[in-house]
């Protein structure tokens, strides 16, 4: 649905000239004006005062360029909010990934230290715990694809919003 604000007083003839496509038959024009009247029962379209807001039906008889979407640019604003939130989430994720990588490097350095190796030689249980920790660190490092996954999901979400905007114009 679309909307138009009548700037100067208008009648059926001037509304037809402003809102309807030029190549319509008389019957098509009458049906279009009847649809306009049905959508705006609060207004007599034979004498519309200036400042009146009319809802315009989404029918092929009406010029799209003569009216504005009732949504305005709400989806554009929503798309920008989503884009900003996703960019912030990506930045936060990148920072936390870097911090985790630094922590893994620190733990790996300790696990590889000569002092720890000397201690674990005499304790088989500790040796197994160190092996398990090393394995877990390597698995975590390999599983760190969250940034890429978020980037793909963000791109897909923004594309869907853009597609929706295109259909609702």
Give the pairing of strands 2-5 and 68-69.
antiparallel
Mind listing the pLDDT tens digit for each residue in 34-56? 999 999 999 999 999 999 999 99
**Torsions phi, psi of 69, nearest 5?**
-65, 140
Per-residue confidence (pLDDT) for residue 20, from 0 to 100: 95
What mean pLDDT value characterizes the chain? 89
Cα–Cα distance for residue pair 8/105, rounded to 1 Å: 72
Kindly tell me the burial class for residue 68, based on how many C-beta atoms sit within 10 Å of its own C-beta (0-12, 13-18, 19 or more): middle
Rounded CA-CA distance 13/157 in Å is 45
pLDDT digits (tens, 9 = 90+) for 100-157: 889 888 988 888 888 888 888 888 888 898 889 888 888 877 666 888 889 999 999 9
Exposed/middle/buried for residue 39 (C-beta within 10 Å: 0-12, 13-18, 19+): middle
pTM exceeds 0.85, yes or no: no
pLDDT at 74: 77
- Asked whether the predicted pLDDT for residue 72 surpasses 80, the reply is no
| Residues 35 and 29: beta-carbon distance below 8 Å | no
Q: What is the pLDDT of residue 140?
A: 78
Share of the chain above pLDDT 90, in %: 50
**89 C-beta neighbours (distance < 10 Å), count:** 13
């Amino acid at each position: 649905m679309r909307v138009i604000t009548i700037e100067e007083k208008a009648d059926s003839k001037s509304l037809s000239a402003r809102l309807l496509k030029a190549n319509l038959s008389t019957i098509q024009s009458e049906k279009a004006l009847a649809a306009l009247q049905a959508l705006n029962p609060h207004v007599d379209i034979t004498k519309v005062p200036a400042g009146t807001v009319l809802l315009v039906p989404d029918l092929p008889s009406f010029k799209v360029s003569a009216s504005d979407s009732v949504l305005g640019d709400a989806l554009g604003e929503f798309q920008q909010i989503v884009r900003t939130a996703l960019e912030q989430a990506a930045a936060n994720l990148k920072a936390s990934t870097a911090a985790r990588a630094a922590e893994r490097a620190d733990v790996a350095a300790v696990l590889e230290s000569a002092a720890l190796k000397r201690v674990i030689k005499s304790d088989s249980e500790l040796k197994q715990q160190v092996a398990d920790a090393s394995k877990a660190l390597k698995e975590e490092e390999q599983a760190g694809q969250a940034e890429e996954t978020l980037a793909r999901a963000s791109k897909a979400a923004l594309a869907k919003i853009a597609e929706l905007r295109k259909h609702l114009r």
